[in-house]
């Protein structure tokens, strides 16, 4: 219908124009792997402390992460010590003896950015002092003084009245500091994981105030958790897909890769599916001990290029077969596409026969595809060409599909990536 382009235009005009996160943010976030471990007596290497963040910063800078775009070093819950006599937030003096500004300087000196965490309510999720409405402006100023680059504002102990007031207030307060601080909101996630249309959250308003937002449950270290998040995103893709774009992203939560709950195939699957959803890529594992195999998944240069595609279009599921094979498609710059063939089977590798015309490709263009994980190139793909992909159980095959030439002409299409 003709209304769609108009609506899309309106969405583009209203978005939060702090100029930040024109591509999905990438970095490292403490929560999934290190949670609220504050016992530095017994576990000094893994407790939430400045040592942990400095060691992860070193790894980001030295092990190739930063140069691929993983630049955010994000603190999550359990850093707060309390408030001083003037009501200003203070980190735990034992665990962050040099303060947060010191960590920000350290991150910046390595070409990284520092993210911090608070919660719109009396307490954070783990019971530390939260940001109540009367503290919003003060806390925004504190974060700016510390030279923080991103704020994740959680929603535990938030009330139905708080969210609609507090999140826009914080967005305005951050902008008023004059420091560019990307804003990650947990507002929709605290509407109980309800379908977007049944919540109080106005998604077009969300794009005006937040650079990214958590929509649904916290991810846990298991394949069932990944599937539940994916299912929710797919069930509501008609609402979620149009509101994402440069500067404002749906956030399906952290990458589990490198932890304990996913097999090799499932780790590859999460990376591919999050990439096709134009999701933020926040690693949450121990970068000091990560295996080469998991590093290869997270540091795949073509995968990252696709995730960071300048058009910033979120992909969608376009096919769901009785065979438990699903196909996801994301349009990319230069008339290219990312295709993910995903198997929910649990028996054996499955030979999936398909053609581009079955995926609703109609143009008379000759395509080529590069397999994102193996690097192999599949050439001579016309829309009617039948191809076969072999997909392992709970695994994916991912293609970067690009046009080679218009059929019926001799002109090749120059494809510069």
Go through the domains of the chain in sequence order and give each one's CATH number: 3-252 (3.20.20.70), 316-406 (2.60.40.1180)
As a whole number, the mean pLDDT across the chain is: 94
Higher confidence at residue 206 or residue 338?
338
Q: What is the pTM of this model?
A: 0.94
Banded model confidence at residue 192, pLDDT cuts 50, 70, 90 = low
Q: Which residues, other chains included, contact 134 with Cβ-Cβ below 8 Å and sequence gap of 6+? A: none
Average pLDDT over residues 134-142: 99
Q: Is the pLDDT of residue 416 over 80?
A: no
Segment 242-271 shows an average pLDDT of 98
The whole-number pLDDT of residue 178 equals: 97
Given this model, what pLDDT does residue 353 score? Answer: 99
Q: What is each CA distance from 170 to 71, 154, 364, in whole angstroms?
A: 24, 12, 50
- From the number of C-beta atoms within 10 Å of its C-beta (0-12, 13-18, 19+), residue 266 rates as buried
Residue located via tokens 């780790």: 267
Q: Give residue 4's pLDDT.
A: 38
Catalytic member of 76, 149, 154, 251: 154
Residue 180 has pLDDT above 80, yes or no: yes
3-state secondary structure at position 349: coil
Q: What is the pLDDT of residue 412?
A: 66
Per-residue pLDDT at 7 exceeds 50? no
155 Cβ contact list (under 8 Å, min separation 6): 119, 120, 121, 163, 186, 187, 189, 190
| pLDDT: which is higher, 17 or 380 | 380
Residue 44 scores a pLDDT above 50: yes
Strand order across the beta sheet in which 281-283 lies: 249-251, 212-214, 182-185, 150-154, 113-119, 72-74, 26-29, 281-283
List, for residues 341-372, the tens digit of each pLDDT value.
999 999 999 999 999 999 999 989 999 999 99
For the ranges 22-26, 191-195, 282-286, 343-347, the lowest mean pLDDT is seen at 191-195
Residue 218 annotated among the catalytic residues of the structure: yes
For residue 6, what pLDDT is reported?
Answer: 35
Q: Identify the pLDDT of residue 415.
A: 53
Is residue 417 predicted with pLDDT exceeding 50?
no
Query: Under a CB-based contact definition with an 8 Å cutoff, are residues 9 and 15 in contact?
Result: no
Among the options 58, 218, 221, 333, which is catalytic? 218
- Measured between alpha carbons, how far is 58 from 52 in angstroms, rounded to an integer? 10
Backbone φ and ψ of 183, nearest 5° = -120, 115
Helices (H), 236-280: 237-243, 264-276
Closest C-alpha among 25, 19, 9 to residue 152: 25
Report the distance separating Cα 33 and Cα 46, nearest Å.
9
**Each residue of 350-359: b (16+ CB within 10 Å) or e?**
bebebebeee
76 is catalytic: no
Confidence of residue 17 (pLDDT cuts 50, 70, 90): confident
- Cα-based torsion angle of the residue sequence 58, 63, 69, 72 in order, rounded to the nearest 10 degrees: -20
Residue 285 has a pLDDT of 99
What number of other Cβ atoms are within 10 A of residue 192's Cβ? 10
Q: What is the reported pLDDT for 2?
A: 39
For the CA atoms of 197, 199, 200, 206, the dihedral, rounded to the nearest 10 degrees, stands at -70
Q: How many residues are listed for the chain in this entry? A: 417
Q: What is the pLDDT of residue 161?
A: 86
Note whether 197 and 191 are within 8 A (CB).
Answer: no
User: Do residues 216 and 243 touch, judged by C-beta distance below 8 A?
Assistant: no
What six digits make up the tokens of 50? 């400045």
Separation between Cα atoms, residue 377 and residue 400, nearest integer Å: 9
Residue with the bigger pLDDT between 201 and 261: it is: 261
Question: Which string of DSSP letters, residue by residue, matches 46-97?
Answer: TSSSHHHHHHHHHHHHHSSHHHHT--EEE--SS-EEEE-TTS-EEE-TTT-T
| 202 class by beta-carbon count within 10 Å (0-12 exposed, 13-18 middle, 19+ buried) | exposed
The residue-averaged pLDDT of 74-91 equals 99
pLDDT of residue 388 exceeding 80: yes
Q: Which residues contact 227 (CB under 8 A, 6 or more apart)?
A: 344
pLDDT at 146 exceeding the cut of 80? yes
Average pLDDT over residues 158-165: 89
């Amino acid at each position: 219908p003709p209304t769609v382009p108009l609506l899309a235009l309106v969405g583009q005009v209203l978005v939060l124009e702090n100029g930040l996160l024109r591509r999905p943010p990438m970095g490292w976030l403490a929560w999934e792997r290190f949670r609220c471990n504050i016992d530095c007596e017994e576990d000094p290497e893994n407790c939430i402390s400045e040592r942990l963040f400095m060691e992860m910063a070193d790894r980001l800078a030295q092990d190739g992460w930063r140069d691929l775009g993983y630049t955010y070093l994000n603190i999550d819950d359990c850093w707060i010590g309390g408030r001083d006599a003037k009501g200003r937030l203070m980190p735990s003096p034992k665990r962050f003896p040099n303060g947060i500004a010191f960590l920000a300087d350290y991150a910046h000196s390595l070409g990284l950015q520092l993210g911090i965490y608070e919660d719109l309510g009396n307490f954070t999720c783990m019971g530390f002092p939260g940001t109540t409405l009367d503290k919003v402006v003060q806390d925004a100023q504190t974060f700016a003084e510390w030279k923080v680059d991103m704020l994740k504002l959680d929603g535990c102990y938030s009330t139905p009245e708080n969210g609609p007031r507090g999140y826009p207030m914080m967005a305005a307060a951050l902008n008023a500091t004059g420091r560019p601080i990307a804003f990650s909101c947990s507002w929709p996630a605290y509407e109980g994981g309800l379908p977007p249309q049944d919540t109080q959250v106005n998604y077009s308003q969300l794009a005006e105030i937040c650079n990214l937002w958590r929509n649904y449950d916290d991810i846990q270290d298991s394949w069932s958790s990944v599937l539940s998040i994916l299912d929710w995103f797919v069930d509501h893709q008609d609402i979620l897909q149009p509101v994402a774009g440069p500067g404002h992203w749906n956030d399906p939560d952290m990458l589990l890769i490198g932890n304990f709950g996913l097999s090799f195939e499932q780790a590859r699957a999460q990376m591919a599916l999050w990439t096709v959803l134009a999701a933020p890529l926040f690693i949450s594992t121990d970068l000091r001990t990560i295996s080469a195999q998991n590093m290869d998944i997270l540091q795949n240069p073509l995968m990252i290029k696709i995730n960071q595609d300048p058009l910033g279009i979120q992909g969608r599921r376009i096919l769901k077969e009785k065979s438990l094979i699903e196909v996801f498609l994301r349009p990319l710059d230069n008339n290219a596409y990312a295709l993910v063939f995903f198997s929910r089977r649990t028996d054996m590798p499955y030979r999936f026969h398909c053609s581009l015309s079955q995926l609703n490709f109609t143009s008379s263009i000759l395509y080529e595809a590069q397999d994102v994980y193996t690097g192999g190139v599949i050439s001579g793909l016309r829309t009617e060409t039948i191809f076969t992909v072999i997909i392992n159980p709970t695994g994916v095959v991912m293609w970067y599909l690009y046009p080679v030439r218009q059929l019926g002409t001799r002109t090749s299409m120059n494809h510069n990536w």
